[in-house]
Amino acid sequence: MTAPWTSAPDARLHVGDADLEYACFGPTPDQAPTLVMLHEGLGSLSLWRDLPERLAAATGWGVVAYSRAGYGQSSTVPLPRPMDYADREAKDVLGAVLDALGVGSCVLMGHSEGASICAIYAGSVSDMRVRGLVLIAPHFFADPRGLAHMSSVRKAYETGGLREKMARHHADPDVAFFGWHDRWTHPDQVRWNIADSIDHWRIPVLAIQGSEDAYGSLDQITEIEDRIYAPLEMLLLDDIGHMPQFEAPDVTLTAITEFCTRLQAFEQSPSPIV
């Protein structure tokens, strides 16, 4: 049974053992392609702000965003999170979310950890519904710069007011924070690497990265350039940090919209007879 296409605040998807909050905007999957949004490691549905609505208006596509288990108002999870958390989210949850909403042709759009989940899905799951990727500040391997910054964020959470800010968006901010922090700062995380997922992509990709991102570096984008066999577009933003969608909203929105428009036009154009 397909879940309702709705932006009602109490909307939930039942996936596996979890109830996931979600919201949909714009046309339904039978009317237009869908942009599926996956949030960052401390994110949630509400922390996308009005970006889903803006993307729906700009692209003419349907847009869906959801909070992963342990985030936002979705079901909680036990801690610690497993080291292969991103793989599990990609292989066990994301496809089920698409199924539950009746999503057809779509582009996966992820930010930070959400981008990693999109990358894994596109590289390991044969799903012809997925026609492209939008990756904002993606992680493919443990970046020393990012790991150092993640270690310092704990103080901001415990004494700097970050917990209070997160409590506005997460039913259990401790699960959201420590589920992210303790996995990324675990000694084994230095060996984490999902770059081989890039080798298996066969769909167009838009990669967006800020030069001043404290959680990552342009090396993540170089990894895509060095390994990809599919069309790649890049938006590299000077003096922008980890949140291009909010630090440079207009240029980021335009890049995503134009990418989706070109992809749709290409797929709808008649194939030449050879």
**Total of domains in the chain:** 1
Kindly state the average pLDDT of the residues 142-169. Answer: 91
Domain presence at residue 102: yes
pLDDT at 11: 97
Domain presence at residue 20: yes
Give the residue from 89, 88, 206, 207 showing the smallest Cα distance to 138.
207
Backbone angles phi, psi at 97, to 5 degrees: -65, -45
Task: Answer whether residue 185 shows pLDDT above 80.
Answer: yes
Q: ∠72-73-74 over CA atoms, to 5°?
A: 95
Give the residue from 79, 89, 84, 133 showing the smallest Cα distance to 111.
133
Domain range for 98 = 12-268
Domain presence at residue 76: yes
What is the band of 148 on the pLDDT scale with cuts at 50, 70, 90? confident
Domain presence at residue 6: no
Task: Answer whether residue 273 shows pLDDT above 70.
Answer: no
CB count within 10 Å of CB 83 equals 13
What is the band of 146 on the pLDDT scale with cuts at 50, 70, 90? confident
Domain presence at residue 3: no
Domain presence at residue 161: yes
pLDDT at 268: 84
Contact 25, 62 (CB under 8 A): yes
Contact 119, 141 (CB under 8 A): no
Q: What's the DSSP call for residue 193? A: B
Residue with tokens 């443990």: 142
What's the pTM value of the predicted model, to 2 decimals? 0.96
Handedness of CA 193, 52, 210, 261 (dihedral sign): positive
- CATH number assigned to the domain comprising residue 251: 3.40.50.1820
The secondary structure of the chain in percent helix, strand, coil, rounded to multiples of 5, reads 45, 20, 40
Residue 153: alpha-carbon gap to chain centroid? 21
Residue 189 buriedness (CB in 10 A; 0-12 / 13-18 / 19+): middle
Domain presence at residue 183: yes
Domain presence at residue 207: yes
Tokens linked to 18: 């979890």
